[in-house]
Chain A
Amino acid sequence: MGEGGSRRVSKHSVRKQHSMWDPAIVRPAIVESFKKLDPRAMAKNPVMFVVEAGSLLVTVLFVRDVVTGHAVGVKFAVQVIAWLWFTVIFANFAEAMAEGRGKAQADTLRKMRTTTTARRIRRTDDETPLKVGALPEGVGGGEEVAATELRKGDVVWVAAGDMIPADGEILEGIASVDESAITGESAPVVREAGGDRSAVTGGTRVLSDWVKIEIRQDPGTGFIDRMIALVEGSSRQKTPNEIALTILLSALTLIFLVAVATLEPYARFFHGSLGVMALVALLVCLIPTTIGGLLSAIGIAGMDRLVQHNVLATSGRAVEAAGDIDVLMLDKTGTITFGNRQAFQFLPVSGVDEAELARVAALSSLADETPEGKSIVVLAAQRAIAPALPEGATFVPFTARTRMSGIDSAAGHMLRKGASDMVIAHVRAKGGPVPADLQAIVAKVAGEGGTPLVVADGAKILGVVYLKDTVKPGMRERFARMRAMGIKTVMITGDNPLTAKKIAEEAGVDDFLAEATPEAKLAYIHKMQEGGRLVAMTGDGTNDAPALARADVGVAMNTGTQAAKEAGNMVDLDSDPTKLIEVVEIGKQLLMTRGSLTTFSIANDVAKYFSILPAMFTGILAFQAVQGQPRSSAFWALNVMRLGSPSSAILSAVIFNALVIVALIPLALRGVKYRPLGAGVLLRRNLLVYGLGGVVAPFVAIKAIDLLVNVLHLA
């Protein structure tokens, strides 16, 4: 979805995208593909294990023949044997490439937890109470330990300029933290004890102030550690779909094993023999080596794509589940709407001119850097009202206590805007009247889901600025696409049902959950799951944790609390809640790639049969041969591709079978193109491309290879 940008890599990503054939990855992958010939490693992949066993068998037999001097057709045999081994090596290479690309990602991740030292001020098993509020005894207090030695429950002290040694929760203090190593966002973020911004990630750096952090992870079990293991492929568990697919591929392999093995007795019935070489070649060509060779690469590459989108997952299972999501729960604020409220309308009380209200509102906001303030100035400007800040005026910022902001002129005249009750109190204190229609205006705005800001000029109330939460542009279309994919979108909001309904309609979501409490969210997820649906949600607060844990895909924002991050099965380093949509697409792409390549692999077999089978049986039923034609066994009539000779036919099929693995590595690593379309349309497309294409392509390719083989006199 080019226009929507799901294929785009997060713009802040620090992880570089490696070009497909980056030598830094290819070179070690080549070495690795030979190392992977170890049968113990191969046994995990039944399809390729059979190929290796077959290759070994023909090699041993060939060597025996050479030693005993019985070898015939050496040139042909050597080539077939070589290509059989290439088949195994190419499959290993695909896996090694995926792992290599993963490793490259992992290395960048790993840099985040390079050996830093930490000042431990309390060990996890220390029973003495922690002195709260006290600074550690002087700068450099506590014991200095390597970050890798920190255990869960340890408390460390991190001062400005130090690296945060491991994931943890701030117990005390406030600091600005540079998290660019993870998020790529250069602006520092504030992290403080308590609330939803208390989690810190290992590998980030404290820029100012100090914090006491309780370590929440034993070494090697942190989120990043798990992710490293996953992208490297070392701890990759097969996902449920992968297991099912492996079963199917193993069954197919067994069927072909029998179909090929029984050919020898069939041939003997006609007093012929086929030879081990041809049988092994046929077997290797028939069993689904293409998908068998690429299967693990596809899985690793899926994780890799997720990391490129700055999302970390705890398991491959979670990525796969993302493709299955039926219900997407999205927070209204910040995800569907801008979250900051924008000035929408000036509503003067009776007797006040709208321009006057706009002028005062704009004046009071000129020095206000909040998005709300800026939007008031913009709205006034749209009405050609652009007052200048009076000389000597001072800005009165918003505080939690006053809940008002504005300016005081040099003469002491006060312009204020703020929450209605506070402004009314402010005006009353100055002896001003409260206009009769003010309450009605305030009530109307609130009723529509907006925020009323009352504006006062001195003791006179002028009217109300209607602040409205606006839906981000393009969300409607996005949700429509989700609907086409069969995904139901649900908006979660703390607003009252009326307001929620209005925004839900505007945004085009399918459902909403108003006045959402953590319990309500949990109950909603439960209800959906009872109905068999898979639910994804994002969250950041500690109170989101139960719902994140309950959801099938829970994406925690990296800015969120440690509790939220532990509860979810993914963390979005960019803390971008709309990313969930892309996560879903990555999951779908992963499954589609597997399905498409499996179909392609199996469909290929038709052509392989037609190239190898006539060649194998060429010596059999030769009593039917037409005089003067050397290869006129009845079987050779089945050579519909008109391949040059029996040996070139076998060789061409084997070469095709090996090369197609290499040819499809880029597709396996990139994934097949995903378009947010209905299942029917997707199926038709993919069946056409990978099913029908899979039948036709090898006919063309094998014929071409055969021409080349014959031109070069290889067989």
Chain B
Amino acid sequence: MSARFWILDVVFFALLVAIAIPFGRFLTRVFAGENRASQRALGWLERGIYRVAGVDPAKEHSWTAYAGLMLLFSLVTQLVTHVLLRYQHKLPFNPTKLDAVPPWLAYNTATSFTTNTNWQSYGGETTMSYLSQAVALTSHNFFSAGVGVCVAVALIRGLARAESPTIGNFWVDLVRVHLYVLLPLCLGYAVFLVSQGVIQTWQGPATWTALDGTQQWILRGPVASQEAIKMLGTNGGGYFNANSAHPFENPTPLSNFVQMLSIWAIPAALCVTLGDMMKSRGHGRAVFGAMAFLGVVGILVLGYFESKGTPLLANAGADLGTLGHPGGNMEGKELRFGIADSALFATVTTGASCGAVNAMHDSFTPLGGLVPMFNMQLGEVVFGGVGAGMYGILVYVILAVFLAGLMVGRTPEYLGKKIDSRDVRFAALYALIPAFSILIFTALGLMTEAGRSGIANAGPDGAPVPHGFSEVLYAFSSGTANNGSAFAGLTAYSPQHPIFYSLTLGLAMFVGRFPLIIAALAIAGNMAKKKRVPVGPGSFPVEGGLFVGLLVGTVVLVGALTFFPALAIGPLVEHVMMHR
């Protein structure tokens, strides 16, 4: 791995910390309603929205009400998207005269964007009108990210409060995250992206005669505005099929660097918010540390194996050295990013539930490809999706504290809150549901003709190979974890088999989102009700290196024990075979 690789990653993490601290503090103020400066500018709008909507911002919700409203909002917005996709041919802003999105694809896509997954069983260029892109899809880039942050903040509130029947007002949290966080940031961010070459236009496709005399048509559109929230909201749904590998989405190494930072910005900042709201900055640091540790390991593994290249490329006559070129496994990677920026991007995008890609994960080396897959199977807690990463890691914290807490001889206590069987029940459900979804749907994919027919990679005689298995495993890991990236060789939608993956991935995305949110909110409600025991020397320590180690250990062990067999059948065996 080159010197550039190390400098890139060190600078990346240094900047991430530098951004997270002030940003996290700002988020704390926003959700406490104490962001005076921005309220002076936009307070009139916020109050106006409440008035129009008939919302009393002072009235807080119980966890059940909070969950109910979250579901209602998600249902309504998903329906809006579904309808827009189905009728895009009758609506304006459709310069390439695209037809309506077919029903199963519309269902899958609407679910996908509502759940912050942004799995795309379609190519943007050939399926979505400008209106569909800008309204039906981009709206969810905001909404699903906003909902994620709301849930994370509600859970932190539940943990931080004592003897409280409520965990916040859903509408207030939702409006604030849009008004004070997502929209202002995206405005500046999108313009920056344009400066780098990301397009932002309502003109139709551009066309020219290429060097070889052929006529090329390149789709354009309002990309930058969608790109900004796609990253910041860890959505990941590309305007183009090639996503952030497409030069119109991610033209320069600088735009790439900023995109990576923006993926982890809110999740990392939420660690600071966690420390602030729970009045234990050390705990916030520890959670950040655990996430960062997992991220660094991922980057190193991915970077190492990708920069080593593959025996196949070497045997076919390609030079994998690094003299005057990046070397390594360049299949499916953009040259301006090389190995280093691609490895970091892949770790960042799958550590968070973003799923934007600047390189084709399907073409990664076996162990390089294992990293994104495992990141998703861990439940997206390497900073994780906007909000989702925070509530995910907090559930892991509860599991870790429960298990290890017994070992210090007390009923496990998380910053003064005793963990009871109700908390454990919901935390266990939180761990159980994704495991079931990924493993069972993968089995279904392999057992059915419709499932197998989507697989792209096969052996010399079309025989099943571990990589084909990995494509299916990756798909359901990605769907369940609400990531949206893919081993994109898998054909998840075809006119011959329109239903299987649309339905199963739709279900996977759904169960990977809403039941988990409800479990997290249930824990929030249960925790909020409890009394707080003062923290003392006998209390379980939730900061410092020991806790970081414990949390990392719990996350990895739970993930590894659940998915080791599947990972062995996929990437591990493929790795062994590659070196035969």
Contact = CB atoms under 8 A, between A and B. Distances in A.
Q: Within the complex, are A and B direct neighbours (CB within 8 Å)? A: yes
B562 A592 contact: no
Interface string A224-248: 0000000000000000110111011
A489 B469 CA distance: 61
Contact of A592 (B409, B546, B563, B568): B409
A683 interface: yes
A271 B407 CA distance: 46
A326 to B, nearest CB: 6
A687 B550 contact: yes
Contacts of A592: 406-409
Contacts of A271: 464
B538 A487 contact: yes
A626 B576 CA distance: 12
Chain A's interface: helix, strand, loop or mixed, by majority?
Answer: helix
Contacts of B446: 265-266, 268-269
B565 A679 contact: no
Given A247-B425, A532-B416, A626-B580, A638 B572 contact: yes
A486 B577 contact: no
B419 interface: yes
B32 interface: no
Interface stretch (A121-129, A250-258, A394-402, A417-425): A250-258
B540 A679 contact: yes
B410 A255 contact: no
Interface in A475-509: 483-488
B411 interface: yes
A549 interface: no
Chain B's interface: helix, strand, loop or mixed, by majority?
Answer: helix
A596 B404 CA distance: 8
Contacts of B191: none
Interface stretch (B38-46, B226-234, B426-434, B480-488): B426-434
A233 to B, nearest CB: 21
Task: Using C-beta atoms within 8 Å of the partner chain, give the interface range for chain B.
Answer: 35 or more
A682 B531 contact: no
B100 interface: no
B573 interface: yes
A265 B411 contact: no
Contacts of B566: 259, 262, 266
Contacts of A324: 410-411, 418
A292 interface: no
Contacts of A485: 537-538
Most buried by A among B407, B409, B421, B553: B409
B569 A255 contact: no
A266 B411 contact: no
Nearest to A266: B569
B90 to A, nearest CB: 43
B447 A679 contact: no
B538 A251 contact: no
A682 B408 contact: yes
A679 B550 CA distance: 14
Task: Using C-beta atoms within 8 Å of the partner chain, give the interface range for chain A.
Answer: 35 or more
A251 B432 contact: yes
A248 B424 contact: yes
Interface stretch (A142-150, A427-435, A560-568, A605-613): A605-613
A28 interface: no
Interface string B541-555: 100101001100100
B407 A255 contact: no
A591 interface: yes
Contact of A251 (B411, B429, B531, B536): B429
A606 B408 CA distance: 24
A247 B439 contact: no
Contacts of A346: none
Contacts, number: 215
B557 A690 contact: no
B573 A634 contact: yes
Contacts of B541: 679-680, 683
Contact of A679 (B439, B463, B538, B561): B538
A683 B416 contact: no
Contacts of B466: 621, 634
A251 to B, nearest CB: 3
B112 to A, nearest CB: 24
A251 B557 contact: no
B553 A286 contact: no
Contact of A690 (B407, B469, B538): B407
A92 interface: no
A257 to B, nearest CB: 10
B442 interface: yes
A533 B534 contact: yes
B532 interface: yes
A270 B464 contact: yes
Interface in B401-459: 402-412, 416, 418-421, 423-425, 428-429, 431-432, 435-436, 439-440, 442-444, 446-447, 452
Given A484-B537, A638-B568, A266 B410 contact: no
A606 B562 CA distance: 11
Given A269-B469, A323-B411, A591-B409, A259 B403 contact: no
A307 to B, nearest CB: 20
Contacts of B580: 624, 626, 634
A488 B563 CA distance: 45
A680 B544 contact: yes
B539 interface: yes
A692 to B, nearest CB: 9
Most buried by A among B406, B421, B531, B539: B406
A558 B50 CA distance: 65
B406 A247 contact: no
B6 interface: no
A262 B445 CA distance: 11
A265 B406 contact: no
A335 to B, nearest CB: 21
B235 to A, nearest CB: 29
Contact of B537 (A320, A483, A588, A634): A483
Contacts of B217: none
A116 B432 CA distance: 57
B534 A532 contact: yes
Nearest to B411: A324
A599 interface: yes
Contact of B443 (A265, A530, A623): A265
Given A591-B406, A592-B408, A626-B580, A258 B534 contact: no
Contacts of A606: 557, 560-561
B63 to A, nearest CB: 19
Nearest to B439: A262
Nearest to B463: A623
Contact of A595 (B403, B428, B533, B553): B403
Contact of A326 (B536, B553, B569, B577): B536
A241 B411 contact: yes
A637 interface: yes
B564 interface: yes
A266 B464 CA distance: 11
Given A591-B406, A624-B577, A486 B537 contact: yes
A251 B431 contact: yes
Contacts of A323: 409-411
B162 interface: yes
Contacts of B440: 258, 262
B404 A599 contact: yes
A686 interface: yes
Given A247-B428, A621-B573, A486 B538 contact: yes
Interface string A565-604: 0000000000000000000000111011011101100110
Given A587-B409, A599-B407, 20 more contacts: A259-B565, A262-B442, A263-B565, A266-B446, A268-B446, A270-B464, A324-B411, A324-B418, A326-B538, A485-B538, A486-B539, A595-B406, A599-B404, A635-B568, A637-B573, A679-B537, A680-B541, A682-B407, A687-B546, A687-B553
Question: Lowest 5 CB-CB distances: which A-B pairs, in order?
Answer: A486-B538, A595-B406, A588-B409, A251-B428, A532-B531
6 contacts: A247-B425, A248-B402, A255-B432, A258-B436, A259-B435, A634-B577
